[in-house]
Structure 1
């Protein structure tokens, strides 16, 4: 397998600055993932490389081989720095809270909710307040019973706050890492959750799509389409998920760039068909 660094070295001879920049940035992320370095060192290295690039530019030597090498090194260091700072959470983030292991009260907005096969209610809540103080971040709320609150709902939740633990069984996916990739740094085992208001936006659109699927289709079909369109697999039966996994097509049940591309293409051609101007079509499709 060819490493990203080797690809960047090959790209230095190309006269494609955007491609060279992207490859160098990606190589920096790959390097930081494989060989973590202290953030102060990466920051200082980036500043030094930036200074050298500026000196070469002022002397008119930025187009040569040395300039290309420093240019790639600069963006590689920036990529490594960006990777290193991705996990640095702000002081008011729930992931840095001192309330782990204690009973808390929080307020926030539901971005996703579903019922598991064991009839548990789960909801991803974008935190706005924690114990009366302003906070941010996402928490995965679990309740043994009740109805899933519609996305977009403003809720108050009461329960015990816990930090996601590492996977104990060798060979199984790291649950904590999977949650953190979704921006979830805390778990809340709730005994009470009440809706105090509603907000619009994307969660409201998701709720509208979910409601339309539930009204027009049988349970199994609606559950599969929720997985395909909304990425909600809580209502897809275990036997069906296992069948997808055995056939190597489990990724179909997750929202991906391919699905987003299909939707964007459909909207682009739809707007064009009904006579919407090209610039407006592009703007609407992107939004």
Structure 2
């Protein structure tokens, strides 16, 4: 299933199965829960074929996100890969449970979420690199204004990332039109 990318359209073959009822009286009844959601059958997939490539730009960005996750999984040790993924694309799935629990006990689990600080540091670092490469400040600001929405989509558009990208975008746009934008 590693060949399946976000946005692909595939044909599935399988069988319809009735959801299981609760076996112990008074416990959670999955069949009843699904019935209330207007779902009456489960589809058990046996094969996947005739997959088409994603055509949407957003889906291509999500495929890039999947590639980054798989690349870091192959390049780094498992305990480090999860933290790198959490800090770059906002995916905490590969962070080990013990590490996640330790961060929660310390009360700093928010450090594993992409925050405004991450976006600000990334934007400032890219701006500095572009200036060092000889790109003018105006062109660097324009390139970053184009990059920020892509990064928001790449990271899953968390509210903190949206807010930080919007603030960075306002600052960069203000610098382009020579407005003094104060923090």
TM-score, structure 2 normalization: 0.52
Partner of residue 243, structure 1: 102
2:54 is matched with which residue: 198, 205, 224? 198
Greater strand share, 1 or 2? 1
**Deviating more after overlay: 225-234 vs 189-198:** 189-198
| TM-superposition CA deviations, 1:164-210 (whole Å, max 9, x none) | xxxxxxxxxxxxxxxxxxxxxxx9x7644664213454223323422
Using CA pairs below 8 Å that are at least 6 residues apart, which structure has the higher relative contact order?
Answer: 2
Partner of residue 125, structure 2: 266
Pairing of 1:1-287 with structure 2 (within 5 A): 147=2, 149-151=4-6, 153-156=7-10, 191-192=44-45, 195-199=51-55, 201-287=60-146
- Flag the 1:190–1:218 CA change in 2: closer, same or farther, 3 A: farther
Structure 1 residue runs of 5 or longer lacking an equivalent are: 1-145, 161-186
Structure 1 CA distance for aligned equivalents of residues 62 and 135 of structure 2:
26
The two structures, once aligned, show a CA RMSD in angstroms of: 3.0
8 A contact 1:157–1:190 mirrored in 2? no
TM-score, structure 1 normalization: 0.35
The structure number with the bigger radius of gyration is 1
- Flag the 1:190–1:236 CA change in 2: closer, same or farther, 3 A: farther
How many residues were matched structurally?
Answer: 114
Structure 2 CA distance for aligned equivalents of residues 190 and 227 of structure 1:
32
Structure 2 CA distance for aligned equivalents of residues 220 and 157 of structure 1:
36
